[in-house]
């Protein structure tokens, strides 16, 4: 899972409308992601490599 801001910086701004819709639809499927508040705050909207 990648934050939307990271996806945009990584090239989503050049995607077609259908590609963006596909990402948005995948985000509708809820996933349980557990993170400590401090870890979540530190990562901000960084990508997985960061």
Q: What is the pTM (predicted TM-score) of this model? A: 0.46
In contact, 20 and 12? CB cutoff 8 Å? yes
The separation between CA 9 and the C-alpha centre of its own chain, rounded to angstroms, equals 11
Phi-psi category of 44—alpha, beta or left, where left has phi over 0 and alpha has psi -120 to 50?
Answer: left
Write the DSSP assignment of 1-50 as a string of letters: ---HHHHHHTTGGGS-HHHHHHHHHHHTS-------HHHHHHHTT--TT-
Determine the pLDDT at residue 30.
61
pLDDT in tens, 22-35: 877 776 666 656 66
DSSP 8-state assignment for residue 12: G
């Amino acid at each position: 899972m990648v934050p939307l801001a990271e996806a945009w910086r990584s090239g989503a701004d050049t995607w077609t409308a259908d590609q963006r819709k596909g990402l948005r639809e995948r985000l509708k499927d809820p996933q349980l992601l557990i993170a400590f508040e401090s870890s979540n705050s530190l990562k901000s909207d960084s990508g997985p490599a960061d």
